[in-house]
Amino acid sequence: MGEKLKKEMHTIDGMEIYCEHDFNGRPPILLLHGFLSSTYTFHRVIPILQRNFSVLAIDLPGFGKSEKCQSFIYSYYNYGRFVKSCADYFKLDKLSIAGHSMGGQIALNAVRVMPERIEAVVLLGSSGYLQKSRRLWIYSSYLPFFDRLISAYIHKRGVLNGLKNVLHDPSIITDEHVEEFGRPLAEKEFYKVLCRLLRYREGDLTSKQLKDIKVKALLLWGKEDRVVPVHIGNKLAEDLPHAEMITFNQTGHLLTEERPKEVCEAIISHCCPT
């Protein structure tokens, strides 16, 4: 199935956005990556999902191969509005959305923007209950050269250490992983985007806001997730009115890499019409 996947740039909301898609007549699902990542997050699950879905994966504005726009307001709600623009652009009237980590919060915001068009939302190790950036960091984001400080911090940490943090089993890390997850970090303009994200990112949705979401939700979590611990998923499952939670043993934050088959089976079971 993978050979049918198109990889191309599209102009959406005036920005050049990298998209991978296969519109094959099946129900559509939109995949949203997380922080410091890209569509590569889903490289192991897309070929499986193509058997049951029309798949659309995007590099969010500012990330991956997409434009590093310096006028876009990098808030979760604005990202949610952008997701609606993507659905409009590709003429997706009804769709499911799956978001990993930060992409989960963006997916939830997209549900708030267009609830009548979302069939189901899938949260994979989604961020949750984080507060907005501290005032000191917001003020610092306006300082000249602050983007260089962010760049220095991320590069000091290193791609390999980052991968070890998001995987339960570091032995599966390959040179390709290091190259692909490191690629977006090589662009200087990316760190200006991170400054703007730090400046505009509001807090995650509150319990009250989550309780207003009526769309069915599937939460998938690695029990050994060190980035977003499983108790965050349990709390999200309690706050979302129509939620189902599935956890995976010996699995970290990047469960699309460690449990692609199981993740896809759960998504297909949850989102495909019976």
Give the integer Cα–Cα distance in Å for 196 and 5.
32
Q: Which of 66, 101, 126, 127 is catalytic?
A: 101
Give the SS3 label for residue 122: strand
Give the integer Cα–Cα distance in Å for 161 and 166.
9
Q: Looking only at Cα atoms, what is the longest distance across the chain?
A: 55
85 is catalytic: no
Q: Which of 21, 33, 168, 253 is catalytic?
A: 253
Give the integer Cα–Cα distance in Å for 268 and 274.
10
Torsion of CA 162, 163, 168, 170, to 10 degrees: -120
253 is catalytic: yes
DSSP letters spanning 84-138: HHHHHHTT-SSEEEEEETHHHHHHHHHHHH-GGGEEEEEEES---SPPPPPHHHH
Helix axes 76-89, 102-113, angle to 10 degrees: 70
Give the integer Cα–Cα distance in Å for 133 and 136.
8
Other C-beta atoms closer than 10 Å to the C-beta of 150 total: 19
Give the integer Cα–Cα distance in Å for 51 and 219.
21
Nearest CA to 68 out of 77, 76, 59 is that of 59
Q: Residue 239 corresponds to which tokens in the numbers above?
A: 């706050």
Give strand pairing partners of 12.
15
Give the burial class of 191: count Cβ atoms within 10 A of its Cβ; 0-12 exposed, 13-18 middle, 19 or more buried: buried
Catalytic positions are 101, 253
